[in-house]
Chain A
C-alpha cells in the first residue's frame, strides 16, 4: 500500500515535470509548425538569466524570475523574426536552423564559463510535508500546483482570448486564418515568444530542485520531443496526457524493473508510437483542431 501511495504521489509530480518541459515545444509546433529544437537551450538559458539577475545584480528573486521569463520570451520572438521566418515551411531547414541556434546557445554558455555544479536557484518554499506517510518537499507541491494551473490556463487562453483563438485558427488552417485577417507571421512570432516563455516558466519551477547545468538543455529537448511525439505533435493536450503516461510508466519501471531502465522508457515510447500510431497516441491525424 505504501508503495502505491508513493507511486501515485511521485508519479504525478514526475508527470507534471515532463508536461512542463514539453508544453512550450508543443505550443510552438502546434501553431506555427516550427519544430523549435532550441527549446532545451531556451529552458537552460532562462535559468542562467534568472541566476544572473539574482546573484550578480541582486534583484529580488521573484522579480528575477519574471524578468528572465520576459527576456526569454523576447529572445524566442527574435529567433523567429530574424532567423526562423526565413526558412519557414522548409521542415528540414527549420529543424537544422533551430537546432543550430540551440547548440550555439548551449555551447556558447559553456564557452562563456557557465560550467560547474554551483549555479543554483533557491527553492520557493522550504520544508517538507507528509502525505499519507510519504515525505514530499513543499517546492515539489508548488510544481504540482503550478503545472496543473498552467494546463488550465492554457485551455482558457486558447479558447477565450483573441490571441489564443487566433493561434487556434492558425493551427487549424493557416490560409483560412489569413483570409479572416489573422497575420500568420505575427502570430507565429507570438507563438514562439509564448512557447519560449513556457520553457522559461518550466525552468523557473524545476531548476531550483537541482542545479543549472548546460547538459540539462539537451535532456529537456529529448524529453520534450518524446512527450510530444507520443502525445501527437502539436497537440498540447496530447502532450499533457503523454506526460502522464510516460511519467507514470517511468516511475513504475523504476520501482518494478530497475532504475537504469527508466530513461529507456521515453525513447521506447517514441519507437512504439511511431510504429503503431505515427500521429501520436492522443493526436488524431488530419484532425487539425487537435493540434492546439
Chain B
C-alpha cells in the first residue's frame, strides 16, 4: 500500500512539475486590456467577442513574453452606451477614465465607439499616456488627422480599423463606379444618419460622385438617430429615378429602411456605406429575405467569409465555433487582430512602458486576418489597400439567396454583384 502511495505521489509530482511552468506563466500579473465599448450594440459586442477570443487563444498558448516572463492578458469591459440615442459623450469619457484609474488598465482597446466620443477621449488618453488602439466605430478621418497634426501629444493613439475617407474614396466609390459601368447606372441618392461619420460619408459621396459624372439627387437626406419611417425619402428616390441609394446608418432602425425599400420595390440598388442592420448573419431571417440585393460594408476582411489571407477563414471559423455565430459587425476582425498586434509590440518592446510600446507598434508589419497590418508612422492609422499583400483590405458584400457574398474588392471577391429583378 505504501509502495502504491509512493508511486502515485511520484506521478503527481512529475505531473505538477510538467504543468507548473505554464501555470506559473498565467499566475504572473496579468496585462489588463481596458475595453470601453457600447456593449448593447453590434459594434460593441462584436468587438468584445473579438478581443476575448484573441485573449483566450494567446493565454492558452502561454501568454505574452515580457522581459523573460510570460504574462496573461486580462480584459475589463465597461459599457460606454455611446451608440445609444441621447446618451451624452461624458458617459463614454467616464468609462475610459474608470478603466484607467479603477481597473488599472495597461492598454485601452476597442472604443469609445461613436466618433464624437472617440474624439473627445483623445485628450484624456494622452493625459494618462495610455496607449489606445481603436478597433470599432470612430470612422471619422478627423481622428488620425489630429494625431498627425499633434504627434507629440497624441502619439499613444492608434486605429487598426478603416476610416471614412478611405472607405468612401478608396473602396466604395470604386465599387460604385464598377456597378455604374457594369449596369449603366449613374443616378445617386443619399440617405444618412445624423451623426458625424455619416455626415462625412454623405458629403464625400455627394462631392466625388458628382465629379465622376454621376447625377447626385438633391442634398443627402439626414435622419435623426432612432428614425422609424423612411417612406417619404424612398418615395423621393423613386420619383427622382434614383438608381443607387447610398445608406449610412448604424442604428437598428436601418432594417426598417431596407424592408420599406423592398416592399415599395424602389428601382434603386441599396448600397450600405454603413448599414448596421444588414451586417449581421441573422439579418436574412429577421428581414424575411427582404434584404436581398442590399450591399453592405463591413470595413475589414474577415467579417464576412473570404480568403483575404491564410488567417481569414481560420479566424472566421474559430469565432463561429467560440460564439456560435459567424462574425457579425465591422468591429470583429479588427478587434481580434489588435490583441495580436499589441502582443507582438509588447514582446518587441520587452516592457509595458507606453513610449517603448508606441515605438514597437509603429514598426508593426504583420500578415493578419485582413491582410498586411502596419500603421502610418505619422497618423497611426492602419495602412489600407485593395490588395491584402499591401495593406489592410476592406469588404463589401451583397446579400444573395440568404448568404453574405463578398463582391468587392476584386482581390478577395467571392461572387458578382446582382441587381434586383424589378431593376432589370
Contacts and interface: CB of A to CB of B under 8 A. Distances in A.
Interface of A: 2-3, 6-7, 10, 13-14, 17, 110, 115-120, 122-123, 126, 128, 134-135, 137, 139, 209-211, 213-216, 218-219, 251, 254-255, 258-260, 262-263
B221 interface: yes
Contacts of B232: 6-7, 10, 251, 254-255, 259
Given A115-B45, A116-B280, A259 B233 contact: yes
A210 B40 contact: no
A110 B87 CA distance: 16
A213 B252 contact: yes
Interface residues of B, number: 41
A128 B264 contact: yes
Contact of B226 (A116, A128, A215, A251): A215
A116 B221 CA distance: 25
Interface in B41-64: 41-42, 45
Contacts of B280: 116-118
| Residue in A3, A126, A263 whose Cβ sees the most chain B Cβ within 10 Å | A263
Nearest to A111: B40
Given A7-B232, A251-B232, A259-B223, 10 more contacts: A6-B232, A10-B229, A14-B229, A116-B282, A120-B288, A135-B238, A214-B40, A258-B221, A259-B224, A262-B227
A259 B283 CA distance: 26
Counting chain B CB atoms within 10 Å of each CB, the highest count among A115, A214, A216 belongs to A115
A10 B231 contact: yes
A259 B228 CA distance: 12
A260 B194 contact: yes
B228 A219 contact: yes
Contacts of A134: 235
A122 B45 CA distance: 26
Nearest to B218: A258
Given A10-B232, A251-B232, A122 B239 contact: no
Contacts of B231: 10, 13
Nearest to A206: B228
A13 B235 CA distance: 14
A175 B33 CA distance: 63
A218 B42 CA distance: 19
B265 A260 contact: no
B252 A215 contact: yes
Given A215-B226, A259-B227, A117 B277 contact: yes
Interface in B240-266: 252-253, 255-256, 259-260, 263-265
B223 A117 contact: no
A120 B286 contact: yes
B81 to A, nearest CB: 10
Contacts of A137: 260, 263-264
A263 B235 contact: no
A73 to B, nearest CB: 25
Contact of A263 (B41, B219, B227, B260): B227
A263 B229 CA distance: 11
Contacts of A213: 252-253
A43 B194 CA distance: 26
B276 interface: yes
Contacts of B239: 2-3
Given A116-B280, A210-B255, A128 B265 contact: yes
B227 A117 contact: no
Contact of A6 (B85, B235, B260, B283): B235
Given A116-B280, A258-B222, A215 B84 contact: yes
A211 B286 contact: yes
A254 B265 CA distance: 21
A209 B238 CA distance: 20
A3 B41 CA distance: 36
30 contacts: A2-B239, A6-B235, A7-B232, A10-B229, A10-B232, A116-B45, A116-B280, A117-B276, A117-B282, A117-B283, A118-B280, A118-B282, A118-B285, A120-B255, A128-B263, A137-B260, A137-B264, A210-B255, A211-B252, A211-B255, A211-B277, A211-B286, A218-B86, A219-B226, A219-B228, A251-B232, A259-B227, A262-B223, A262-B224, A262-B227
Contacts of B222: 258-260
B224 A260 contact: yes
B385 interface: no
A7 B253 CA distance: 22
A180 B41 CA distance: 53
Contacts of B235: 6, 10, 134-135
Nearest to B229: A14
B327 to A, nearest CB: 14
What are the 4 A-B residue pairs with the smallest beta carbon separation, nearest first? A137-B263, A118-B282, A210-B256, A260-B222
A62 B228 CA distance: 24
B126 interface: no
A116 B256 CA distance: 14
Given A14-B229, A117-B286, A110 B40 contact: yes
Most buried by A among B253, B282, B287: B253
A144 to B, nearest CB: 13
A177 to B, nearest CB: 39
Contact of A135 (B86, B223, B263, B276): B263
B256 A209 contact: yes
Contacts of B40: 110, 115, 214
A209 B282 contact: no
Contacts of A258: 219, 221-222
B260 to A, nearest CB: 7
A119 B283 CA distance: 9
Contact of A260 (B42, B223, B263, B287): B223
Contacts of A126: 288
Nearest to A253: B232
Nearest to B256: A210
